[in-house]
């Protein structure tokens, strides 16, 4: 520190300040600039400056000497030279600052030492989470499943007490039954959980051999889960009390079964709606017809309109999933048509397709059936609307490029 500031200025006090004023000012500034709370790079230096000022002004003899002769009148060893820390060197970087404040300045620490604990307090067992894989059919209809769990359960030997002999539970000699260790350091009182009894206030001289005094052991058990129909991936079923056993009479945790639906070969699900692709022949697409499509209720016949293109979607109302929530309507089934291009054609089939192409394009000079075609003149003039539109747009595009 380049230049020392007046100690009264450091604490924000007048020279006539009382001892209580000095103590209150120090507490306020120590909390404000303690490095565990204040992340400012200069906070540590300010905190040490506050400590140094307090060490002098809180001592009547040093204060009188300082008032009379300034810095030279007080021994430097009482200042920052020894790195005095009123917190006793404790590391509170991982603790909540509010808890630190209560521990140092509240009256709780003094009272807690007088309180006795009869043993560990009841604690609720932890919830358990499992993932249940279902097929779409199982999820739609609902199903009951038996699952095996490895779960912390109440020890059958000591019935959760941690010992077969209740008299073996003795008061912890380190904390005298309070569960905490209180250390005094000047005006501060630092309260810590007793490491000998882990804060329980008692120790077991004859712990249960099966659970080693914990009151719980790992056990395998089978649980039946009733899954209602209509649930989707990410939704869950809660079984109250089927989780880990509580400690010392605490309530059991819950079992949470999270649903995960397997991929289906035909359907994709989105909420309560189902989607599927339906392949059709190009002749059915051109002429129309009927195709069989699957639903959750069985097969049904779907009418395909003449001139149907790939990507055309038909909605089958109320052929989706019935949600588990009362009052919500059933979802729909959306069937998207995919026109299938024929492969592995014979020469005869290829010849027929060439003739069809000539007929569609208007080039019927080589077609032996042009007499029949003449009778249908004009009927196929717009037989490929998408192709015609594409060619028109492409022609316009190249014209614009040449401008």
Environment class of residue 253 by beta-carbon count within 10 Å: exposed (0-12), middle (13-18) or buried (19+)? buried
* Rounded distance between C-alpha atoms, residue 229 and residue 239, angstroms: 17
Q: Are 74 and 56 in contact (CB under 8 A)?
A: yes
- Say whether 175 counts as a known binding-site residue: yes
Give the separation between CA 191 and CA 184, rounded to whole angstroms.
9
Q: Is 172 annotated as a binding residue?
A: yes
Q: Is 335 annotated as a binding residue?
A: no
Residue 355: which H helix or E strand, with range?
helix 347-361
Residue 276 in marked binding region: no
End-to-end CA separation in angstroms for the chain: 78
What is the distance between the alpha carbons of residues 97 and 95, in angstroms, rounded to a whole number? 6
Helix, strand, or coil (residue 214) = coil
Burial pattern 212-247, b for ≥16 Cβ within 10 A else e, equals ebbbbbeeeeebebebeebbbeebeeebeebbbbbb
As annotated, the binding site for Zn(2+) includes 155, 158, 172, 175, 194, 197, 208, 211
As annotated, the binding site includes 155, 158, 172, 175, 194, 197, 208, 211
């Amino acid at each position: 520190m380049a230049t020392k500031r007046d100690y009264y200025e450091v604490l924000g006090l007048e020279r006539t300040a009382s001892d209580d004023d000095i103590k209150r000012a120090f507490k306020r500034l120590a909390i404000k600039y303690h490095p565990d709370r204040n992340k400012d790079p200069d906070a540590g230096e300010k905190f040490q400056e506050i400590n140094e000022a307090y060490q002098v002004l809180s001592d009547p003899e040093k204060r009188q000497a300082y008032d009379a002769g300034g810095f030279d009148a007080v021994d430097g060893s009482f200042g920052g030279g020894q790195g005095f820390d009123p917190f006793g060197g404790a590391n509170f970087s991982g603790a909540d600052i509010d808890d630190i404040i209560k521990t140092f300045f509240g009256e709780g620490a003094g009272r807690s030492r007088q309180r006795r604990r009869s043993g560990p307090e009841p604690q609720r067992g932890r919830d358990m989470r499992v993932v249940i894989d279902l097929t779409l059919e199982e999820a739609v209809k609902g199903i009951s499943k038996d699952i095996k769990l490895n779960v912390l359960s109440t020890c059958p030997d000591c019935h959760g007490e941690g010992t077969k002999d209740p008299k073996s539970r003795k008061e912890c000699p380190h904390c005298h039954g309070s569960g905490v260790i209180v250390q005094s350091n000047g005006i501060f009182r630092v309260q810590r959980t007793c490491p000998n009894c882990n804060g329980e206030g008692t120790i077991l001289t004859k712990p249960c051999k099966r659970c080693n005094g914990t009151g719980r052991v790992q056990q395998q058990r089978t649980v039946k889960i009733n899954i209602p129909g209509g649930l989707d991936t990410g939704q869950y079923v809660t079984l109250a009390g089927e989780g880990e056993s509580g400690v010392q009479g605490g309530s059991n945790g819950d079992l949470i079964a999270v649903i995960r639906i397997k991929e289906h070969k035909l359907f994709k699900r989105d909420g309560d709606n189902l989607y599927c692709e339906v392949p059709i022949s190009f002749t059915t697409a051109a002429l129309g017809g009927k195709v069989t499509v699957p639903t959750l209720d069985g097969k049904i016949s779907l009418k395909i309109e003449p001139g149907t293109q790939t990507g055309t979607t038909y909605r089958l109302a109320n052929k989706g999933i019935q949600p588990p929530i009362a009052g919500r309507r059933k979802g729909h089934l959306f069937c998207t048509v995919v026109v299938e291009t024929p492969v592995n054609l014979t020469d005869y089939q290829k010849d027929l397709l060439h003739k069809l192409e000539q007929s569609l394009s208007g080039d019927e000079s080589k077609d032996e059936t042009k007499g029949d075609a003449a009778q249908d003149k004009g009927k196929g003039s717009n037989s490929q609307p998408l192709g015609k539109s594409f060619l028109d747009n492409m022609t316009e595009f190249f014209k614009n490029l040449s401008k």
